[in-house]
Amino acid sequence: MGTHQHRFDMLARAQTPGLYRYAYWLCRDRALAEDLVQETLLRAWRSLDSLREEAAARRWLITILRNEFMRELSKRRDTVAIDDMPLVDHTANVGGSDTDMFDVRRALWKLTPEYREPLALQVLMGCTTQEIADMLELTQGTVLTRLHRARNQLREHLGLAGVAMGEGAA
Amino acid sequence: MSAPVTCLDVRRIIGAEPQRRDEAIAAHLKDCPGCAAFVREMQALDARLEAAFKVPVPEGLEARIALDGSLKNHNRAWRPWLATAASVVMATALATFAWHHDHPVDGALADAVVRHIRNPEEIVAIGPDRALLHDASYIEGVMHDAGAGMQGGAAGLGRVTYAQTCLFKGERVAHLVVQGDNGPVTVMLLRHIHVDRAVPVDEDGFHGIIVPAGEGSIAIVTNNNTPVQPMEQELTSKVEWTL
């Protein structure tokens, strides 16, 4: 097996689960999420030589996938009403048969994308706030604020006891 | 030595980064049981979030992508082929759907409603311990997304414990659960499905009815002894289609 092929296979196996989940939380559609992952890895295959460090692979792939999603979103905006995006899929509760998982996923979908995406990048993909800021082209301060507000809203949606979160504090 | 931080600082920082441990934060937590409890709460929340984010990955996806040489070697040649095939499938599906839209097969519709309710991903909606949804605007938002509204607002539905927009036969529908006299009753607002007459539902321990409502229909189904007739009258008189 060639080095290029071997390197790609290792990368695909290691990163596919995380990429698929991230894609799903972007688009809320299992079929589209799978397609986005395939497209992302196809692009990665073509330009694998530009990846110098394996440690940077996750961030590199996330950026490609996010660009693919934006491209898809843009295409759909040309053909369907913006109100129809993101796609709505009853699989909002996919894979969760216990009530807590169900409620947490529902609460996550109640967040706006600007709050849900950095949270997914942090909690699901293990990105630092600086990495998130770079990927989303935001300042690190904005990312911190969004993460803080996202958790604040989730606590409200989940009916968690009210320990002050410091919102609006100087 | 770093500057001391206040409780508000700690909660703002930990609210954004629950795993963060600066020297100043660690020092504060030693002396502040309230903030220490807050940190534990946020870490517990993050554990729930991590589990919730981890939706199941389609079986074999990694292997398909890693081993599919044709995907890599033929660039996107598979895609036009797939698109053509998908178009044919979609055209057939749309034609079939259009026919069924006007001529729903009663038994098949009742069966589809019960299958949707019994779907492993939806069955928890009729679990016994679900909390009431107090946010009427959320329920109305779900109905709105499904092209439905209710005269007088969501309060007219009664005690709602579940509200979600679902895909059903290719269209968005409102999937609601209302607490009836003897337990949960599922109400599905099917804007896109017209029935000429009431369709009885009696499958797998679930019973109820799918009633005409203007150009759409409403399914009212339960697996307990709650009578559905009063709800039928209430819903058909108050539900309206907005799209």
Q: What local confidence, expressed as pLDDT, does residue A165 receive?
A: 60
3-state helix, strand, coil in chain A (%, to 5): 75, 0, 25
A positions 39-58 inside 8 Å of B (CB): 41-42, 45
User: Under a CB-based contact definition with an 8 Å cutoff, are residues A115 and A153 in contact?
Assistant: yes
pTM for the model stands at 0.57
| A12-27 average pLDDT score | 91
Output the average pLDDT for chain B.
Answer: 81
| A43-52 average pLDDT score | 81
Contact flag B57-A16 (C-beta cutoff 8 Å):
yes
**Portion of chain B with pLDDT greater than 70, in percent:** 81
Contact flag B165-A88 (C-beta cutoff 8 Å):
yes
Q: CB distance from B128 to chain A under 8 Å?
A: no
User: Under a CB-based contact definition with an 8 Å cutoff, are residues B186 and B221 in contact?
Assistant: yes
What ipTM does the predicted assembly reach?
Answer: 0.86
**Portion of chain B with pLDDT greater than 90, in percent:** 35
- B166 to chain A: which residues are within 8 Å by CB? 90
Q: Tens digits of per-residue pLDDT, B173-195?
A: 899 999 988 899 999 999 888 88
Q: Tens digits of per-residue pLDDT, A85-104?
A: 343 344 444 444 467 788 88
Structural domains in chain A plus CATH codes: 1-94 (1.10.1740.10), 96-160 (1.10.10.10)
Q: What local confidence, expressed as pLDDT, does residue B125 receive?
A: 85
Contact flag A101-B51 (C-beta cutoff 8 Å):
yes
Instruction: Give CA separation, B156 vs A24, B110, B140, B214, B230, in Å.
Output: 35, 25, 11, 19, 13
d(CA A48, CA B80): 24
A positions 138-157 inside 8 Å of B (CB): 143-145, 147-148, 151-152, 154-155
**Is pLDDT larger for residue B91 or for residue B221?**
B221
Q: Which fold has domain B105-241?
A: Protein Transport Mog1p; Chain A (3.40.1000)
DSSP B126: G
Q: What local confidence, expressed as pLDDT, does residue B166 receive?
A: 80
Q: What local confidence, expressed as pLDDT, does residue B89 receive?
A: 44
| A64-92 average pLDDT score | 61
**Tokens encoding B65:** 């992508």
Backbone angles phi, psi at A127, to 5 degrees: -80, 150
Residues 6 or more apart whose CB falls under 8 angstroms from that of A92 comprise A28, A105, A106, A109, B164
Sign, Cα dihedral of A35, A36, A37, A41: positive
- Lowest-pLDDT range of A69-78, B15-24, B123-132, B141-150: A69-78
Q: What local confidence, expressed as pLDDT, does residue A139 receive?
A: 95
Q: What local confidence, expressed as pLDDT, does residue A28 receive?
A: 80
Domain ranges in chain B are 7-53, 105-241
d(CA A15, CA A9): 10
DSSP, collapsed to helix, strand or coil, labels residue B223 as coil
